[in-house]
Amino acid sequence: MENLDVMVLRTLLEWRQQGLKAVLVTVVRTWGSSPRPIGSIMALSENGSTVGSVSGGCLEDDLILRFGSSSDIQDGPPELIKYGVTADEAHQFGLPCGGTVELFLEFNPEISALAELVAELDAGHLMQRKVRLADGKVMLRRATAPTPLLLDNDLLISCFGPEYRMLIIGGGQLSEYLATMALFCGFEVTVCDPRINADKRWSIPQAKLTTLMPDDAVDQFRPDARTSIVALTHDPKLDDLALLQALESNAFYVGGIGSRRNNKARKERMIAHFDQTEASLARLRGPIGVYIGSKTPAEIAVSVMAEILAVKNSVFLHQTADVAYAKNIEAEKVF
């Protein structure tokens, strides 16, 4: 599945190119509890179609009532609207107790600016988008790092990134489960497996397959700060070189499958034969995943995907979630 923001912008562009009137809606402020975070976007066309979300559904229904026809969507400057100002309104729109949401509405966004933004995102560029409140004029530029949404008296400034990506080394059953979960979480997935008949065994068509040697595949993948790299073959000849290459990149997640003993042996090999140090291997994760007592390939994939999402979302994982720590504690209980 495509990154949700990119999907919203791409769909909005298609509507506008078809001559449809449309509204781009952005969550710009929240007070108290809110169903969707600041920066969430949705688009609404004149025929009532929507993509994306700004709430659990109730606000979308009201927006369709307000702007779900051609006559309701008129050209003009952006508007700000609030929901949940009163307790009755919060209850009416299904907002949590005390929750208030402020939305920024852009009417009939300009096609050329939308097309430029989507093209830049497709090319893998992080983009800053400025919208002038006075007239809705859009200004785009490439950004070097993500920034939080900012709304002042003159401008709305937001940041859109390309899709998160995942490179999986190895095309086995565990890889199929992990690739499927990553696709549903909005990652673009590539699987690398140079072994004989790998292309005949791989069964997830939405995930690209490459038969390059893993270190070459990592190099060609050009990992950036929105990239995760996971080695799942259990074969040092394939996993080790790929992981070493990945550690030289800006990938936000680099990890390899294996037991506590195998991961210890992997690091010892890398230090002994590849001039690595404990410091240079500090980012290498393993055993990978969060501890949920997983046994089957599907459960292990859930565990690994959960850890990748936690790292992506900058969530602190307590040591009790660490697989090695939890298994060490279990082993101590046996004795």
Beta-carbon contacts of 313 under 8 Å, excluding residues fewer than 6 positions away, are none
Of the listed ranges 49-53, 132-136, 244-248, 331-335, the least confidently predicted one is 331-335
- Domain 165-334 in CATH 3.40.50.720? The answer is yes
Range list for CATH 3.40.50.720 in the chain:
165-334
Residue bearing the bigger pLDDT, 146 or 264: 264
Mean pLDDT computed over every residue of the chain:
90
> Which pLDDT does position 55 carry in this prediction?
82
For residue 276, the tally of other CB atoms under 10 A from its CB is: 17
Q: How confident is the model at residue 123 (pLDDT cuts 50, 70, 90)?
A: confident
Tell me the HSE value of 82 on the side-chain side, using a 13 A CA sphere: 9
> Which pLDDT does position 33 carry in this prediction?
62
Please state, for a pLDDT cut of 90, what percent of the chain lies above it.
69
Q: What is the mean pLDDT of residues 41-60?
A: 89
Q: What is the mean pLDDT of residues 11-36?
A: 90
The answer to whether residue 54 scores a pLDDT higher than 60 is yes
Tell me the HSE value of 99 on the side-chain side, using a 13 A CA sphere: 17
Beta-carbon contacts of 120 under 8 Å, excluding residues fewer than 6 positions away, are 127, 140, 142
C-alpha dist (Å) from residue 284 to 256, 298, 316: 8, 23, 17
Q: How confident is the model at residue 91 (pLDDT cuts 50, 70, 90)?
A: low
pLDDT tens track for 203-224: 899 999 999 999 999 999 999 8
The answer to whether residue 72 scores a pLDDT higher than 80 is yes
Q: How confident is the model at residue 34 (pLDDT cuts 50, 70, 90)?
A: low
The answer to whether residue 86 scores a pLDDT higher than 60 is no
Beta-carbon contacts of 133 under 8 Å, excluding residues fewer than 6 positions away, are 77, 78, 153, 154, 155, 156
Q: What is the mean pLDDT of residues 303-311?
A: 96
> Which pLDDT does position 335 carry in this prediction?
54
Of 186-200, 240-254, 311-325, the range with the highest mean pLDDT is 240-254
Cβ burial 49-75 (10 Å sphere, 16+ → b, else e): ebbbbbbeeebbeebbeebbeeebbee
The answer to whether residue 313 scores a pLDDT higher than 80 is yes
> Which pLDDT does position 70 carry in this prediction?
82
Q: Determine what percent of the chain falls in helix, strand and coil, rounding each to the nearest 5.
A: 40, 25, 40
Runs of H (alpha helix) within the chain: 4-17, 58-67, 87-92, 111-122, 173-184, 198-201, 214-221, 236-247, 260-273, 297-312, 323-334
pLDDT tens track for 168-199: 999 999 999 999 999 998 899 999 999 988 88
The answer to whether residue 128 scores a pLDDT higher than 90 is yes
> Which pLDDT does position 94 carry in this prediction?
54
The answer to whether residue 299 scores a pLDDT higher than 80 is yes
10 Å CB burial of residue 188 (0-12, 13-18, 19+) is buried
DSSP 72: G
